[in-house]
Amino acid sequence: MADAPQKPTPSEEPKNLDALAASEASGVVDAIDRHRTKILAAIAIGAIVLCAILVGAQLKKQKHLAAAAAYTSAVSKGEIAALDGVLVDFPGSIPAGNALLSKAELQIDQGKPEDARATLERFTSEFKSHPRHAQGLFALANLYHTSGDAEKAKSHYEQVIAAQPDGELTPLARIRLGDLALEAGDAKSADQRYQESYTLHPGNPFFEYAEEKIALLKVGNPTEIEKPAPPAPPAAEAPKTEAPAPGAAPAVTPAPAPAPAPAPAPATSPAVTPAPAAPAPAEAPKAATPAPAPATPAQPETPKAETPAPAPAPAPEKPEAPKVEAPAPAPAPAPAPAQ
C-alpha cells in the first residue's frame, strides 16, 4: 500500500510563509536600490509636469480675466477701435470672438451691412470652437436673407441647425427656412418647416411665433387693391378784390372834357351890306366841373367774409357840351341926310 503524502504540520506552515515573505521583501529592496535613481527622476519629472500644468492654468485664467475686462471696457465705450484692440491684444481668445460679434452689431447700427457681413465671415471662419459660433452663423444668415441672397441665407441657416441640433436658435432657424420657402412660392415646404420648429423642439420659446406663421399661411395672401388715383391739383384762385364798404359812393372816373366847338360865322343881310366890323371875341366855354361827392364818415371795418359780388357801378353820365351863343349882328348905319 502506497504511502499517503504527509501534510505539513501547523507549526511548520508559518515558518515557510515567513521565509517566503522575507525573500520577496529582500528582492523588492534590492530592485529599489538598483533603480533608485530612475525612480527619483520619474518622481521629479511628474512633480514638474504637475506644477507646469497648474501654473499654465493659472496664467491662462489670468489672461482670460484680462481679456474679459478689456472686452467689457470696449463694449462700454461703444467704439469699433476699442473692440479691434481686444482682437490685437488677445488673439484667438473667447473675448476676442465676442469683440467681433459686438463689432458686427455696431456696424449694423451704423448702417454698414457690408462691413458687418465681412466681420461675421471672419468670426465664423476663425472661431469655429467659440461658444457663440452658432449665433454668428445665424446673424450672417439674417444679413444674407435681408440682402436678397436666398441661397447663402439657406446655407447658413442649415449650418446653425448642424452646429447646435438642440440649440436655442435652432427652432428659429427652421422658421427662417420656412420663410425662404414661402418667398420662393413653396407653401408646402414652408408649412413643414414651421411645424418642425415645435415638433422637433417642444417647449421652445418660438412656439407661438410658429403657430402665427402657420395661421397666416392658411389664410393666404390678401387680394391687392389698386390704389386710387391722386386727386388733381386745385385750380389757381382768382385774385380777390376788396368789396367797397356799404354806403360808400362808387368811385367814378370823370370823362375827359370835350373840345370846344368852333364859333359859327355871323349872319349877313342880303339887302344892306354893312361895314365890316370886328366881331366881339367869343367867351371860352366854361367846362362843367362836377360837384364833389359828399364825404361820408369812415365806418368800422367789417370782418372779412364771403360777400356777394358788388353790383356793377353805373356808367357816369356824359356831361353835355356847353352851348355857344352866336354874336348879334351889328346895326346898319343910318342914311346920310339929303342936301
Residue 203 zone, left/alpha/beta (φ > 0; ψ -120 to 50; rest): left
Mean pLDDT taken over the chain: 74
The count of domains in the chain is 1
Q: Quick check: is 288 in a domain?
A: no
More confident residue, 315 or 30: 30
Which pLDDT belongs to residue 300?
47
Q: Quick check: is 264 in a domain?
A: no
Categorize the per-residue pLDDT at 305 as very low, low, confident or very high, splitting at 50, 70 and 90: very low
CATH of residue 90:
1.25.40.10
288 and 322 Cβ atoms separated by less than 8 Å: yes
Residue 194 zone, left/alpha/beta (φ > 0; ψ -120 to 50; rest): alpha
* Residues spanned by the domain of 172: 37-219
Which pLDDT belongs to residue 100?
95
Q: Quick check: is 320 in a domain?
A: no
Q: Quick check: is 310 in a domain?
A: no
Does this model's pTM top 0.85? My answer is: no
Which pLDDT belongs to residue 162?
94
- Percent of the chain topping pLDDT 90: 42
What would the mean pLDDT of 44-70 be, rounded to a whole number?
84
Categorize the per-residue pLDDT at 163 as very low, low, confident or very high, splitting at 50, 70 and 90: very high
Categorize the per-residue pLDDT at 267 as very low, low, confident or very high, splitting at 50, 70 and 90: very low
Q: Quick check: is 41 in a domain?
A: yes
Structure confidence by residue, pLDDT tens digits, 135-158: 999 999 999 999 999 999 999 999
Which pLDDT belongs to residue 254?
52
Categorize the per-residue pLDDT at 129 as very low, low, confident or very high, splitting at 50, 70 and 90: very high
Categorize the per-residue pLDDT at 330 as very low, low, confident or very high, splitting at 50, 70 and 90: low
Categorize the per-residue pLDDT at 227 as very low, low, confident or very high, splitting at 50, 70 and 90: low
Structure confidence by residue, pLDDT tens digits, 319-329: 555 554 555 55
Give the 3-state DSSP-derived string for 75-142, with helices as H, strands as E and coil as C: HHHCCHHHHHHHHHHCCCCHHHHHHHHHHHHHHHHCCCHHHHHHHHHHHHHHCCCCCCHHHHHHHHHH
Task: Report the candidate in 210, 200, 205 with the shortest Cα–Cα distance to residue 179.
Answer: 210
